[in-house]
Amino acid sequence: MWSDTAIPDLAGKVALVTGGNAGIGLQTVKQLALHGAKVYLGARSESRAKQAIDSILSEYQTINKEHIIWLPLDLSKPSNIVEAARLLSSWENRLDILINNAGIAAEDFTTTAEGFEFTIAVNHIGHFVLTTNLLPLLKETASQVGSDVRVVTISSSAERFAPKHNVFATAKDLCDPGTTNPNDYTSRKTVFSRYGASKLANILFTRELQRRLDQEEVKIIALTLDPGPVATDGGMGVFPGFLKPVLKLVMKSPEKGALNQLFCATAKEVANEPHTYKGKFLSAPGKINPGSERSRNSELAQSLWRITEEALRTAGIS
């Protein structure tokens, strides 16, 4: 079974992990830094980010303190994301690993200033804006001899809960992705539907990103994955509060939950067999999962990309 001991030497590589201040994101930052990478921890809160960084550095004094850096990043605000990408691109001349890890499951139906439903705004649109704005830096890194550039986006098997009526045909599908019944916005079923729509979007985004990269003959591998049930606030966000103490007993620890994305981001197997892993959805380290029929629909993936671009243009975000 693949473990963090199989992570190769990452010295000289630069990585960005969104939501790196807690849960599996924190474990991912820790392992990347332990193996030599310079890691940017993307988070909204400076105090939480610095607390997370201090906890890693105090636990592992072998890590160079210059190798874990907070990147101010609010995935619910596209203009903030564009600025974060610009900032990182001004600080670094390379980016080898981008891990779109952050995720939420908003219990209430709320929308962002641009009118996007909050769950899909953070889980899909925020990472779309971040990735597309970092593509020039990622492509520049990929053009270098011996490069191994990867974009890893966290999805979930909950993608199967995405409502059937949402076919990502218009920008409206990003404003209310989970229900057409205004009296049912906060039911547990609808929370799952909204979350499922965002997780389906993560897989479709990855497939379409890989198709575009391959079309341009860019040497970047895009993967998506299900970390499995993990005992973190984010991992249990879709469940009612009374179940959480019980779920914590049966769910994976954050350390184990981070292994699948660490495999996707670092494993030699991926670099050695790119055509096996490109654009794929993994349910465990090395285990490719076909996902739902809709998650494999290339026309749906292209439509999602198109409406996301259109919605961002309308909002004045590029």
Catalytic residue among 40, 60, 185, 195: 195
Q: Torsion angle, CA of 296/130/54/67, rounded to 10 degrees?
A: 100
In sequence order, what are the beta bridge partners of 102? Answer: none
- Strands laid side by side in the 14-18 sheet: 68-72, 38-43, 14-18, 97-100, 149-154, 220-225, 281-284, 287-289
Query: Which residue from 83, 127, 138 is spatially nearest to 102, judged by alpha carbons?
Result: 127
281-284 vs 287-289, strand pairing mode: antiparallel
Query: Is position 185 annotated as part of the catalytic site?
Result: no
Q: Is 162 within 8 Å of 86 (Cβ atoms)? A: no
Query: Which residue from 72, 16, 25, 48 is spatially nearest to 255, judged by alpha carbons?
Result: 25
- The alpha-carbon radius of gyration of the chain (Å, integer) is 18
Tell the residue number behind the tokens 């490719």, with chain if given. 288
Query: Which residue from 127, 129, 151 is spatially nearest to 139, judged by alpha carbons?
Result: 151
Q: DSSP assignment of 231-258, as one string? A: SSTTTTTTS-GGGHHHHHHHSBPHHHHT
Per-residue b or e along 280-289, where b marks 16 or more CB atoms closer than 10 Å to that residue's CB: bbbbbbbeeb
Q: Is 120 within 8 Å of 201 (Cβ atoms)? A: yes
Which sequence positions are flagged as catalytic? 195
